[in-house]
Amino acid sequence: MTEYTETQKRCWAEISPENLLHNVRALRAALPEGCRFLGVVKADAYGHGAVETAKLLEGAGADYLAVACLDEALELRAAGVTMPVLILGHTSAAYTGALIEHDITQAVAGPEEAEAFSAAAQEYGGTLRVHMAVDTGMSRLGFLCTGGDFDRGVSELARACSLPGLDVEGVFTHFAVSDEPGEENERYTREQYRVFTAVIKAAERQGVHFAIRHCMNSGALLHYPEFALDMARPGLLLYGYGDTEGKLGLRPCMRLMTRLLTVKTLTPGTTVSYGRRFTAERETRLGVLGIGYADGLPRLCSNRCAFALGGGTAPQRGSICMDMCMVDLTDLPEAKPGDEVEIFGPAVDLNALAAAAQTIPYELLCAVSKRVPRVIKTFKEDSE
């Protein structure tokens, strides 16, 4: 039988284990001695492949993994990942048995959820390991402890910690603007931290003990090293993004690639793609690439981005289609069909592409669709 391996190489994502391990080392070096390390691998490890990433983190000596939901946790367990896994999002108490059976740690979003998990764990005849979520200003999951809700929040938290069937291992909160510059954002983040530590103190005065207190997402790791507590919880930084000032020397772990499919020369005045949103002003060597919005290249980037090939850059032209898009190769006369093109990675800044799509790098990493095969590969840093 013929193996059509080349047909899969219309577009692909190269994942570099070396760069991930480099980033883990760089992040650990930035943390205080004894601080535990949790790697956030939700959303298929931000598009990099959850199982592969989890195994690399396990090998690198990470202490914990975090995912968003039960299915993501079960995927790791099914692949033989045995290290502690925390579900950051909400899980219905109906699945308490599965959580206990697979030794998965669950975040508790509030008093009702604590009651429901406690009842379900007792009915199942087991103990559920939990981390209590504290809402200090994100207004998402967690025991609400801001402003006038402090005292009630703390007593609900302390009560939840005493419920049968729950093994309370940790407590955590999540920052809203730890990654954004400016005085007001710093004030807000420091206030979230102050509330978090005050909640812990007040709960401990009521006899509760938390072995693992954690709040440090990527933004906090970069900008508030003094918030490490017992564990850091980075996601984006692991994958090489978010350190816009280059403080930590991180390396991108994903390189999104495609191929130049065909090339033709357009006479001036010819329009390109759906909506005719680009007109060739000069004689234009136009290349067609095998990547489109169904692969995760946002249509909003149309006419606003450029990709790397053959040591140069090719501006993208016309509306990005579902499976293809066009580039101007006039200034790259060497470029020929079959050439590899980098959409983002070491040579093309994902942050710029995200800005063109009016979004953040997180969204573009997660948007790389399942049709794009992930290929484990060492790619050289441009800077090396």
Ligand X SMILES: *Cc1c(COP(=O)(O)O)cnc(C)c1O
Say whether residue 131 binds ligand X (CB under 6 A). Answer: no
Find the part of the chain contacting ligand X (CB under 6 A) among 193-201, 229-237, 324-332, 371-379: 229-237
Centroid of chain to Cα 113: 26
Angle (deg, nearest 10), helices 183-205 and 150-161: 50
Find the part of the chain contacting ligand X (CB under 6 A) among 48-56, 231-239, 253-261, 274-282: 231-239
Dist CA 143 CA 172 (whole Å): 10
6 φ, ψ (degrees, to nearest 5): -65, -30
Say whether residue 236 binds ligand X (CB under 6 A). Answer: yes
Q: Shortest Cβ distance from residue 165 to ligand X (Å)?
A: 24
Judging by DSSP bridges, how do beta strands 143-144 and 128-135 pair with one another?
parallel
Name the token pair of 139: 């207004």
Say whether residue 53 binds ligand X (CB under 6 A). Answer: no
42 has catalytic annotation: yes
Considering only residues 53, 189, 192, 218, which one is a binding residue for ligand X as defined by CB under 6 A?
Answer: 218
Considering only residues 17, 137, 170, 235, which one is a binding residue for ligand X as defined by CB under 6 A?
Answer: 235
Nearest Cα residue to 102 out of 79, 73, 130: 73
Dist CA 333 CA 314 (whole Å): 11
274 has catalytic annotation: yes
Centroid of chain to Cα 260: 29
Looking at the Cβ atoms of 84 and 234, the one nearer to ligand X is: 234
Considering only residues 233, 251, 259, 285, which one is a binding residue for ligand X as defined by CB under 6 A?
Answer: 233
Q: Which of 201, 264, 274, 370 is catalytic?
A: 274
Find the part of the chain contacting ligand X (CB under 6 A) among 150-158, 228-236, 248-256, 350-358: 228-236
Dist CA 255 CA 57 (whole Å): 19
Dist CA 353 CA 154 (whole Å): 43
Q: Shortest Cβ distance from residue 241 to ligand X (Å)?
A: 9
How many C-alpha atoms does 43 have within 13 Å on its Cβ side? 13
How many C-alpha atoms does 340 have within 13 Å on its Cβ side? 13
Q: Which of 9, 42, 64, 188 is catalytic?
A: 42
Dist CA 129 CA 326 (whole Å): 52
Find the part of the chain contacting ligand X (CB under 6 A) among 227-235, 305-313, 328-336, 372-380: 227-235
Looking at the Cβ atoms of 10 and 223, the one nearer to ligand X is: 223
Considering only residues 17, 153, 234, 290, which one is a binding residue for ligand X as defined by CB under 6 A?
Answer: 234
Looking at the Cβ atoms of 26 and 88, the one nearer to ligand X is: 88
Interface residues with ligand X (CB under 6 A)? 40, 42, 88, 174, 217-218, 233-236
Catalytic residues: 42, 274
